[in-house]
């Protein structure tokens, strides 16, 4: 039977654990909605396989806290949190050329009681990828949203995903040039991956070395729907008027509503 996936173990207290984790995560300034955070927490708890959770792009630690709380509860750490903490987009370097999100990040994980679960790597993900060797169970990408940035994160780290490991990339259904295009072109087209989908703006896919091809039709159908969005996000410029309405209509046709653990587990079961 090898690594065919017949069942996912869903912890009985998962909903309660996600509630408690979100209570801590929402205190941290950040860009993850509650539904996205809960989905991420569910993946952290339920994805089979071995290896750490890797986060690319932590900022002040909202998603790190969510992942850390779940990892702590089920003994699934560490969460390796990769971020140089010097974002020129999110921090005001004109007011303070030394601006960094690192102190705030450290305070967030300390206040949430997850500092022991988290291994910060204060480094650019391209640098971190050069020496990365460990298998990864869950890869969470929320760093550089340019096409080159998202591509280099997917290429640099997804090859380390454990069989049955999952990659998830944020802002794939928001107007950024990288996440959606890389997911559509490099992930949905590959039989290395099996089941895939969207939850709000998170795109996810599971590595399925043995039966990825069995999910090819579903991935291709998703790819056709998201291909229509790529021209709208290609240059990352804010959309207005008719273009914005067109984009939102095509996006509405991409299934991306919240799923609970049971629905997700059913969607990844071997056919």
Ligand X SMILES: C[S@@+](CC[C@H](N)C(=O)[O-])C[C@H]1O[C@@H](n2cnc3c(N)ncnc32)[C@H](O)[C@@H]1O
Query: Which residue lies nearer to ligand X by CB, 5 or 166?
Result: 166
Shortest distance, CB of residue 183 to ligand X, whole angstroms? 16
The residues that bridge with 139 in the sheet, in sequence order, are 54, 167
- C-alpha radius of gyration, the chain, whole number: 18
Any idea how long the chain is? 271
**Two tokens, residue 105:** 């990040």
Shortest distance, CB of residue 64 to ligand X, whole angstroms? 7
Shortest distance, CB of residue 230 to ligand X, whole angstroms? 21
Q: H or E element: which one contains 197?
A: strand 193-199
* 96, 98, 104, 109: CA torsion to nearest 10: 170
Q: Of 151, 148, 123, 149, which Cα lies nearest the Cα of 54?
A: 123
Query: Which residue lies nearer to ligand X by CB, 15 or 34?
Result: 34
Shortest distance, CB of residue 58 to ligand X, whole angstroms? 6
Pairing, β 118-121 against β 79-82: parallel
Shortest distance, CB of residue 160 to ligand X, whole angstroms? 16
Residues near ligand X, by CB under 6 A: 30-32, 56-59, 62-63, 82-85, 87, 90, 101, 124-126, 142-144, 149
Q: H or E element: which one contains 121?
A: strand 118-121
């Amino acid at each position: 039977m090898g690594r065919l996936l017949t069942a996912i173990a869903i912890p009985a207290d998962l909903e309660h654990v996600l509630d408690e984790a979100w209570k801590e995560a929402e205190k941290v300034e950040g860009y993850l909605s509650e539904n996205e955070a809960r989905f991420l927490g569910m993946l952290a708890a339920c994805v089979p396989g071995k290896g750490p959770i890797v986060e690319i792009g932590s900022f002040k630690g909202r998603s790190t806290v969510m992942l850390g709380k779940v990892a702590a509860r089920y003994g699934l750490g560490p969460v390796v949190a990769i971020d140089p903490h010097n974002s020129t987009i999110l921090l005001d370097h004109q007011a303070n050329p030394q601006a960094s999100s690192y102190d705030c990040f450290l305070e967030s994980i300390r206040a949430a009681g997850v500092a022991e679960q988290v291994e910060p790597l204060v480094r650019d993900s391209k640098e971190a990828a050069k020496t990365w060797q460990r298998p990864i169970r869950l890869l969470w990408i929320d760093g550089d949203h340019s096409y080159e940035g998202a591509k280099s994160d997917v290429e640099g780290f997804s090859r380390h995903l454990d069989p049955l490991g999952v990659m998830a990339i944020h802002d794939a259904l928001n107007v950024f040039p990288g996440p959606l295009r890389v997911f559509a072109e490099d992930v949905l087209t590959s039989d290395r991956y099996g089941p895939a989908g969207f939850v709000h703006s998170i795109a996810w896919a599971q590595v399925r070395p043995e039966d990825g091809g069995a999910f090819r039709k579903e991935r291709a159908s998703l790819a056709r729907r998201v291909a229509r969005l790529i021209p709208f996000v290609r240059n990352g410029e804010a959309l207005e008027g008719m273009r914005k309405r067109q984009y939102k209509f095509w996006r509405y046709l991409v299934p991306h509503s919240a799923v609970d653990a049971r629905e997700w587990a059913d969607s990844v079961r071997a056919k």
